[in-house]
Every structure is written in structure tokens, then in C-alpha cells.
Structure 1
Amino acid sequence: MNATAAAPTPTAPTAPSPAVTPVSETAAEAAIAAACRSLMLPTIREQAGPLAQAAARERLTHQGYLAEVLTAECDDRDARRRIRRVKEAKFPRTKSLADFDTTAIPELPAATLAQLATGAWIDAGEPLVLLGDSGTGKTHLLIGLGTAAAEQGRRVRYVTTAALVNELAEAADAKQLSRVVARYGRLDLLCLDELGYVNLDARGAELLFQVITEREERASIACASNAPFSEWGATFTDPRLAAAVVDRLTFNAHIINTGTSSYRLRTTRSQKGAATT
């Protein structure tokens, strides 16, 4: 019996090697500069030459050199994005968590602050509420946590309650309210300061409620208030609206009481005491 010969397995055609044209160093530098401008790679344009010299000294392979220049571009791009995110947040001043004295707030141990600084609560869409008297560090914490979130690449916006209500009222008058509310809804973190400092009229309270509802259980709001929840009715005038706001801002929230002892006054006294010793 004759055995049937197995048909040969077809093989995929081998891709041709890329053609490489020898060029002078001057021509190579000009080509790199032109390509980097076209592709918007400013770091590679600046670092290609110095990194090539370093790669030659370290005897890196061509792939090793390519990895170095691409990593440099990515690192620099990340740094620029962090700076841009912080600028876009519109913080009124620079405050860092590293400068905050957690020993002054028993409810905020250093481990808890470090955990908040990771931004996991933002990823989970959880609110953060800072309650305490004036000068107890609420705004410092609000800006510090917001800055940390922005440096991690998140979209953050800081605004006082009064400024936000005014912006919403102007948008409503210009028939642009839905666009502005949607813009605030797209943020990863909204830092709302001075909640309860001024009483809102019925219209202002309803406009603010729209932003809070837009972000409910989906995107985080961090707010700071000098009034306990029981007094928020005076801010929102309508008790039912005040209750709805409290309900939305406290559900699965991180609530921190910064106390009554002025952080600013204590810091000023310690600085003066250190200066006189």
C-alpha cells in the first residue's frame, strides 16, 4: 500500500529587514531634530546627543540606547503633566502634606494621612469632609491632598463655595449651566472650600446641589466647613435640601474633625518662640 505523502506546512514569508542608509553625524542630528519636532518629542530632541555619547561609553546596544531616550521622554512628559495638573487645579497658594503637623489633630494620625495621600478614596469616588473651627488646618489639608492627587495625574479643581455658586449663577444666566455642571462632573476630585461660611439663597443652594448630585457616588468631593452638620440648614436655607446635601457628602465619606485649636496661631507662636531662643 502506498502511503500518502503529507503536504508541506506553509511558512509565513519572512519580513524584509528595514533598509538602513548610512548618513553622516551632522545629517543624523538634523534628521533627529526634524523628526522630534514633527512627532512632538522635545526631550528626545534635546537628549539624543548626550544619551548617545553615554550609551557609547557604557557600550549599550542600539535597543538599550532606544530604551534610554524613550524613557527620558516619558519621564519628562509625566513631570510636565504633573505640573500642568497642579496649575489647572487653581489652588490659591502652595500647601504640601509634608508641611502639615498631624500631631495637632488627634483624629488624623500620620498613617491615616499617608493613606489619604495615595488617592485610593478618590478612585473609589468617596467623599472627604473636614470639619473644624477657622485656622485649624482644613484648607491646608484640602490643598495638600488636592495637590497630591493632581501630581498623581488626576484632574483636580479647587474652588470656594461662594465662587462656585457665583460661577453657576452666571452660567445659568448665559444658558450654559449644563455645560459648566458637566465640566465639574468630569473632574476626578473637586475641592470645595469654605462650605458654610456664607449663607446661600434658594437659587444658589439649588445650583450647588446640581454639582453635588452630578458627582454623587461616582466622583469625589473633598469639602471643608467650619460648621457642624447640624448647622448646615442655615447655609442651605431649605432644611430638606440641607439634609440631602449632608446625605450625599457623608455617604461612605472620610470625616475628619480638625478641632477648635487654631493651627495658624499655634504655628505662629512656635515660630516666634524659636526665633527668641
Structure 2
Amino acid sequence: MTDDTAPVNATDPIDAARLGLLLGDLRLPAITHIWPRFAERADKEGWPAARFLAALAEHELAERARRRIARHLAEARLPPGKTLDAFDFDPVPMLSRAQVMALVAGDSWLEKGDNLLVFGPPGAGKSHIAAAIGLGLIENGWRVLFTRTTDLVQRLQVARRELALEAAIAKLDKYHLLILDDLAYVTKDQAETSVLFELISARYERRSTLITANQPFGEWNRIFPDPAMTLAAVDRLVHHATILELNVESYRRRTAVERRKGPGRPPTRATINTAAD
């Protein structure tokens, strides 16, 4: 019987094919791919065995992190191009880049299940900053899901009809941050708002929720038909929350005005058809 614990003879030739199989069995695909190149370099530079092994392990861990981030980005469904680098902070003086970067670090508020609420008029950049924060968090190792509030509410309504609402909400627990974009477009309907309230209640003090909304809290009675439900939803969201207000002119409107100006055109003649917003 072969003794698998017997020491390897350093003069034995390396069976590359067998080594590849062993690394595959150990589920080390990055090392399987890179070890011949690292081994060649180690031989040329006279690396100690420990350095060679450490280099392989570091490469494997880095590749695992890269693949994990790629998976989390794919599942997050973030709108493309919405990064912090692409966000113009200048027209939003009330929004601090330093504060946003601290939120992206995410190592305290997400662990506590705190919430993030972003208010502002249509076109102010709420969805952009929400998606950018989500992207930064994913790159830092957190799991995020970005969804239009109406889309998720409809899916939860289907789950309720199939007597699976609790399970559907539980599946969302894997996301450290759930981004509900455009809360205002939820229909003031008991069926829709009740599943939204159950989602908010289920995540309360456990998992974080980011909500973008056009209306301030005082107008949320347009979303929740029951005043008591409105107060309860606001209480759960605000209890542990950071609130960002983007009370600025619509970015889309401002961009359209700039396009209408044209080169050398006086600013007083820059007009836009407001019906097109």
C-alpha cells in the first residue's frame, strides 16, 4: 500500500498532468493555470519554497475575489455607466463627496442594517448616486440589488398570490443593500403598498435599504393609503438612516438647455419646451 504521507523526493520529476488533476480536485483553478509560469520564474530567481507557495496562494485569492465581484455585479442589475467618477457633484453643493465615499466604505452602517434615503426632484441624479454607491459597495465585497420599486412590488404581489411572500422576502436577505428606485411610482393600492410595507418591516434593523423618492415624507400619504401604515413605514426607514437631499434643478433639463444654447448663443435665448420633460 502506498503511503500518501511519505515525503516527496525533491529529485523526482514533476508530473505536470497529475499536478493539474490534483489542483483541480482541490478546486484551485487560478493556481492550475498560473503555476508553470510562477515555477519558471521561481527557478530563475531562486525563490524559497515558502515564497513560491505564498505567491500562488495570493494569486488564487485575488482571482476568487475578482470572480466574486463579477458575479455580484451581474446579479445586482445596476444601470450601466452610473459611477461616482461620472457623477457631477458641482451642481449639488448639499451633497458631500466625502460623505458619499464614507457610505461606499460601508463597513458600519451596512453591518447594523441602517438605511439610506435619497430625495430630490426628477432628473436630479438620485438614481445615479444610488447606483454609484451600490457599485462601490460591490467592489468592497458587499452584495447589492438595484430594482425599480414597482417591479419588485409586482413580483412580491405574485409571490403573495402563490402563498410564497415570506419566502420571497427571505430570499432578498442575501443582499446587504436593497436599492428601491423611484418609490413615487408605486400605485396607491392596498395590495401593492401592503407588500412594500412587509418588505420594509422584514428588513428593519437587519438589512439595509436604499430608497430614492421624489416626495418628502409629508407626501407619502400619496403612496400608502392607510395613514397608520404611512407613519409606521416612515418610522422604520428613518429610525436608523442617513438622508441625502438633492434639491437641485433637473440634470436632464439642464443638459437639454445647454444643448439648445448652441455655440455662441446668448444665455437669454436658451429655452426648452417644458412639456418634453
Smaller-chain TM-score bracket: 0.7 to 0.9
> 2:272 is matched with which residue?
none
Taking the TM superposition and a 5 Å limit, the aligned residue runs for 1:1-277 are 18-21=6-9, 22-25=11-14, 27=15, 29-119=16-106, 120-267=108-255
- Go from structure 1 to structure 2 and tell me whether the alpha carbon gap of 1:265 and 1:57 turns closer, same or farther (over 3 Å shift): farther
Q: Stretches of 4+ moved more than 6 A in 1?
A: none
- Go from structure 1 to structure 2 and tell me whether the alpha carbon gap of 1:116 and 1:271 turns closer, same or farther (over 3 Å shift): farther
> 1:8 is matched with which residue?
none
- Go from structure 1 to structure 2 and tell me whether the alpha carbon gap of 1:85 and 1:272 turns closer, same or farther (over 3 Å shift): farther
| Number of residue pairs the alignment of both structures matches | 258
The secondary structure found in structure 1 opposite 2:245 is: strand
Unaligned runs of at least 5 residues, structure 2: 265-277
CA RMSD of aligned residues (A): 2.0
Distance 2:153 2:204 in 1: 18
TM-score by length of 1: 0.87
29-38 vs 61-70, greater mean Cα deviation: 29-38
> 2:269 is matched with which residue?
none
Query: 1:186: how far off?
Result: 3.5
Contact kept? 2:177, 2:210, Cα under 8 Å: yes
Query: 1:158: how far off?
Result: 1.1
Task: State, as a whole percentage, how many aligned pairs show the same letter.
Answer: 32
Contact kept? 1:131, 1:224, Cα under 8 Å: yes
Query: 1:127: how far off?
Result: 0.7
Query: 1:264: how far off?
Result: 3.1
Structure number with larger C-alpha Rg: 1
Query: 1:107: how far off?
Result: 1.9
Distance 1:144 1:211 in 2: 23
> 2:274 is matched with which residue?
none
TM-score by length of 2: 0.87
Q: Which amino acid aligns with 1:92?
A: P
> 2:275 is matched with which residue?
none
Unaligned runs of at least 5 residues, structure 1: 1-16
Distance 2:207 2:171 in 1: 12
Q: Which amino acid aligns with 2:39?
A: A
Query: 1:232: how far off?
Result: 0.7
Query: 1:18: how far off?
Result: 4.7
Contact kept? 2:177, 2:208, Cα under 8 Å: yes
Contact kept? 1:195, 1:223, Cα under 8 Å: yes
1:166-223: CA deviation from partner (whole Å, max 9, x where unpaired):
0111111112111101112342111011101232311111111111111101211011
Distance 2:131 2:81 in 1: 8
